[in-house]
């Protein structure tokens, strides 16, 4: 499409977006829908394609961040880059009123894409550990950042509908759950307007397109990465009595850890302790002197989280003692200071306001109340901690046609695929309506 034609189309987009929101209860903001559709056809479809073909790993989103900054500056936002690493912050001031922050995560995963799509990623990138890996947007973050640009355009066009300050955040390293914390530690809430409300959405492969889920309480579990080094005394495999076998000790620890969930935690509480990796040993007939375990720990409350983490320390130490490990060789348990996040819990009152705005603008049928199917984590929690005073709403947007949603490949799979247009456009519509509801113009 020629540049002049694009300009004309975008002018129409802005004109459509500037139309006032329809009356409450109309169930259809036709002006918004038309504007978003036009924007997708003229700009966002190609932008999504670019992001999908060019994913970057956590903390290394240099080109993605540069493109986000470029797009947001072109829309008249005050843009700052390099926040918390590669994070981008864009501010739009529109008179007195609340401050609303909208966040989109932008990192990909070290997964080889096998979706069969024409725009499948073939990118490889050297990760922070020095190892070259395939990279794929296997969790839909390309949808999120594309929608953030679309939301930025609509909020600029619809300034007559809201009053306050809008802060847009393109966040790095959500997949490794340290990007949000890094941005907060780099002054997100002191260098920029601190939000009264924070919004974010995640596209969901097992949710039908055209539907949005807005929980009134917990949306994601806490997550902690824990490493356990199990030490032993090496010896010949034919003479095990002359050493202390760390593989046997580690095996008992793995089994004993499951009692933390099954016998020490209420069955009504969410809790998971998963040993995701065991590495140890040298050869068939050698008893080594070390085994390494890697764990992920999930909980739905701070109390259960602390209970599980303290329990891991206790089980590792006491299992080793019971099996004769010397005091100077007891297991070393390390909780990652980088990869951890508390649970993400929506503010019920704010979520109720968002749900009302979505049904008013998109119709009653847009909402879907679907129970969580697992204990996934999300570092959006760092933006809405109780001590921050920021009220958060994290919602999910359908990404797969209804007749395919039940069989859709899961997130983080090389087969993962999203139907981009309905996911991006509904993500924009939901974000705009939610933000406007939280920053009403008197």
Q: Which residues are annotated as a binding site for Mn(2+)?
A: 139, 141, 175, 202, 412
Could you tell me which residues are annotated as the binding site?
139, 141, 175, 202, 412
Measure Cα distances from 151 to 89, 104, 309 in Å.
Answer: 14, 11, 40
Residue showing tokens 């007749």:
403
Q: Is the distance from CB of 138 to CB of 416 less than 8 angstroms?
A: yes
Spatial neighbors of 163 by CB under 8 A, at least 6 apart, are 94, 95, 96, 97, 439, 440, 441, 442
What is the SS3 assignment for 168?
strand
- Identify the helix (H) or strand (E) that includes residue 69: helix 62-74
Task: Report the alpha-carbon distance of residue 250 to residue 330 in Å, rounded.
Answer: 11
Angle ∠(195,348,366) on CA atoms, nearest 5: 95
- Cβ neighbours of 418 (radius 10 Å): 27
What is the SS3 assignment for 276?
strand
Task: Please give, one letter per residue, the 3-state secondary structure of 418-432.
Answer: CCHHHHHHHHHHHHH
Radius of gyration of the chain (CA): 24
State phi, psi for 66 to the nearest 5 degrees.
Answer: -65, -40
Q: Is the distance from CB of 161 to CB of 61 less than 8 angstroms?
A: no
């Amino acid at each position: 499409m020629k540049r002049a034609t694009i300009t004309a189309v975008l002018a129409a987009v802005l004109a459509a977006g500037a139309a006032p929101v329809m009356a409450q209860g109309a169930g259809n903001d036709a002006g918004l829908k038309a504007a978003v559709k036009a924007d997708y056809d003229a700009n966002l479809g190609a932008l999504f394609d670019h992001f999908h073909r060019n994913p970057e790993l956590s903390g290394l989103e240099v080109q993605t961040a540069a493109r986000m900054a470029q797009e947001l500056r072109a829309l008249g936002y005050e843009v700052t880059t390099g926040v918390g690493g590669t994070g981008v912050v864009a501010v739009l001031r529109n008179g007195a009123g609340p401050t609303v922050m909208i966040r989109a995560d932008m990192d990909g995963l070290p997964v080889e894409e096998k979706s069969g799509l024409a725009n499948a990623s073939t990118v490889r990138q050297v990760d922070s550990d020095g190892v070259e890996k395939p990279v794929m947007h296997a969790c839909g973050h390309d949808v999120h950042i594309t929608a953030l640009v679309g939301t930025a355009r609509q909020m600029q066009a619809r300034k007559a509908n809201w009053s306050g300050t809008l802060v847009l955040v393109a966040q790095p390293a959500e997949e490794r759950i340290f990007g949000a914390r890094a941005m907060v530690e780099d002054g997100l809430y002191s260098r920029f307007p601190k939000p009264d409300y924070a919004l974010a959405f995640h596209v969901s492969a097992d949710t039908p397109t055209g539907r949005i889920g807005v929980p009134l309480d917990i949306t994601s579990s806490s997550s902690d990465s824990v490493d356990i080094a199990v030490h032993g005394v090496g010896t010949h495999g034919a003479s095990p009595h002359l050493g202390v076998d760390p593989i046997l000790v580690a095996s008992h620890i793995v089994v004993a850890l499951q009692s933390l969930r099954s016998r020490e935690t209420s069955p009504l509480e969410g809790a998971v302790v998963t040993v995701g990796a065991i590495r140890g040993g040298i050869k068939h007939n050698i008893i080594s002197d070390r085994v390494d375990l890697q764990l992920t720990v999930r909980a739905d409350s701070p109390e259960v989280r602390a209970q599980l983490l303290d329990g891991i320390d206790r089980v590792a130490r006491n299992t080793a003692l019971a099996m004769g490990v010397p005091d100077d060789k007891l297991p070393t348990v390390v909780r990652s200071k980088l990869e951890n996040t508390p649970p993400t819990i929506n503010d019920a009152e704010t979520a109720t306001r968002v749900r009302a705005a979505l049904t008013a603008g998109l119709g009653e049928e847009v909402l879907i109340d679907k129970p969580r199917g697992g204990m996934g984590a999300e570092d959006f929690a760092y933006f809405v901690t109780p001590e921050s005073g920021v009220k958060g709403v994290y919602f999910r947007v359908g990404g797969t046609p209804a007749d395919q949603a039940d069989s859709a490949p899961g997130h983080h799979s090389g087969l993962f695929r999203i139907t981009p247009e309905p996911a991006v456009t509904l993500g924009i519509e939901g974000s705009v309506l939610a933000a406007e509801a939280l920053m009403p113009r008197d």
